[in-house]
Structure 1
Amino acid sequence: MKIGILQCDDVLEQLQPRHGNYPEMIRRLLLAVDNDLEFVVYRVLDQQLPEHPAACDAYITTGSRHGVNDGHDWVNRLADFVALLYREQRKLVGICFGHQLMAKALGGEVVQSDKGWGIGVSFNQVDKTQPWMTPPSRALDLVVSHQDQVSRLPADAEVLAGSPFCPFYMVQYRDHFLGIQGHPEFSRPYSADLMATRQERFPPHRYREALASLGAEVDDLLLARWILAFMRS
């Protein structure tokens, strides 16, 4: 299977020697459960997009420090490409920023949450299980890093997992779009290092809670299996 990685940001330069860049994180995650995959990276933040929706068997986005409402030209172009993928019924998995852009491109709404930053590990309940979610699980716990959230869902949206903090955590649109607010590709050490570079942005108690949450197990490999099964379903 040929997977197109839609790169929407770069890891901070000082963190790349230890953790790699975002496409490397995506490759590392998915190859851990299937080593027979091919990847093509498109730096959409530099206006690079696939020439045609059929260029790859499926696509996945990275996260981004930018917001879907920031008005950047590359974000608007990516939103148009996301809408095209939906019309063409091509498989797309949106991670964090990509999850939010997917919702906005299809007619939903994304806002800065009044609940503040989601950082550390988030703990979510799976409310609906699909056939590709094997092995099944009632929980989906992942590293997160976001201020914005999907506040209004577009048509065709089906919520699969959420929490009181983030009700629309994992959302499926028909058979070919899947959005996930969490970061299965982020390791817990990377989360700790990233939070340290942004510590002044967080209330002190929230930062301490997030650091403590990194001691919990996460479902990164489980979600990697789900993502590949979804892409092949």
Structure 2
Amino acid sequence: MKIGILQTGHTPDVLQDEFGDYDELFPTLLGGNGFEFVTFAVVDGTFPKDVDDADGWVITGSRHGVYEDLPWIAPLEMLVRDIQQSGKPLIGVCFGHQIIAQALGGKVEKFSGGWAVGRTEYDYDGNNIWLNAWHQDQVVELPEDARVLGQNAFCENAMLAYRDTIWTVQAHPEFTNGFVAGLMRTRGKGVVPEDLMRAAANRETAPDDNAKIARHMADFLKKERA
């Protein structure tokens, strides 16, 4: 099964040797499932010719906001709608979660409550899970077809599903604790409040549920659909 990764951002240059770019985090997360991966760096203007360039799709995280006036945002929204119409599976992570919501009629904004950083607990379909978060923007109004699967007190629309073909998550199951620590060193200072980063650093060695969510993501992509 070929999975198209729609890359919407780049990791900081100083972290790429150790962790790779954003698109490289997903083959690591989803490895062992027989997937073939192909990247389209939409952030740099490289788009697939059509939705049939892959059997399933993943939209990555980004330092950009989905509401920014960038030349690749509108074409990406159109592609999201085309993928939805095709019935192919689509997964969105952080920025991907937000751009899918915006493309399908929802609203995203810079959340007045501030940032979520590091290991964070969510209620996911009645179970408590822990994932690494790195965001201030949030989906604040849902598209018509969206249903909430996961949330917490800070982020009420943390995991969404759209019918049987789209699944999205605000947090980052592809981020290890070490990667989050690197983001705090390179992008956090002067942007994320110091008390939040200190608290996140204190949780760095605690376990997460990345593997559990990776299993769900892989099963979602491979699921038989009519």
Structure-1-length-normalised TM-score: 0.92
Consecutive unaligned residues in structure 2, runs of 5 or more: none
2:150 equivalent in structure 1: 161
Indicate whether 1:214 and 2:204 are aligned.
yes
Equivalent of 2:163, from 164, 168, 174?
Answer: 174
Q: Deviations over 1:43-67 (max 9, x none)?
A: 1112211112122110001100000
Q: Distance in 2 between matches of 1:204 and 1:188?
A: 17
Give the Å deviation of 1:187.
0.9
2:42 equivalent in structure 1: 44
Q: Distance in 2 between matches of 1:39 and 1:205?
A: 38
Contact 1:157-1:174 within 8 A present in 2 as well:
yes
1:13 equivalent in structure 2: 13
Q: Distance in 2 between matches of 1:90 and 1:62?
A: 17
Equivalent of 2:59, from 26, 45, 61?
Answer: 61
Corresponding pairs, count: 222
Contact 1:140-1:161 within 8 A present in 2 as well:
no
Give the Å deviation of 1:213.
2.3
Equivalent of 2:98, from 96, 100, 118?
Answer: 100
Q: Distance in 2 between matches of 1:101 and 1:179?
A: 10
1:88 equivalent in structure 2: 86
Give the Å deviation of 1:202.
2.2
SS at match of 2:37: strand
Structure-2-length-normalised TM-score: 0.95
1:200 equivalent in structure 2: 190
Contact 1:63-1:98 within 8 A present in 2 as well:
yes
- Amino acid of the residue matched to residue 225 of structure 1? R
Equivalent of 1:228, from 214, 218, 224?
Answer: 218
Contact 1:62-1:97 within 8 A present in 2 as well:
yes
RMSD of aligned Cα (Å): 1.1
Q: Deviations over 1:26-82 (max 9, x none)?
A: 111100x42x21011101112211112122110001100000000101011101110
Identity among equivalent positions (%) equals: 37
1:127 equivalent in structure 2: 125
- Amino acid of the residue matched to residue 216 of structure 2? W
Higher mean alpha-carbon deviation, 183-192 vs 211-220, is at 211-220
- Amino acid of the residue matched to residue 177 of structure 1? I
Q: Distance in 2 between matches of 1:150 and 1:216?
A: 27
Q: Distance in 2 between matches of 1:140 and 1:99?
A: 18
Q: Deviations over 1:109-164 (max 9, x none)?
A: 00111111111111101236xxxxxxxxx122111111100000001111111100
Give the Å deviation of 1:170.
0.7
Higher mean alpha-carbon deviation, 14-23 vs 92-101, is at 14-23
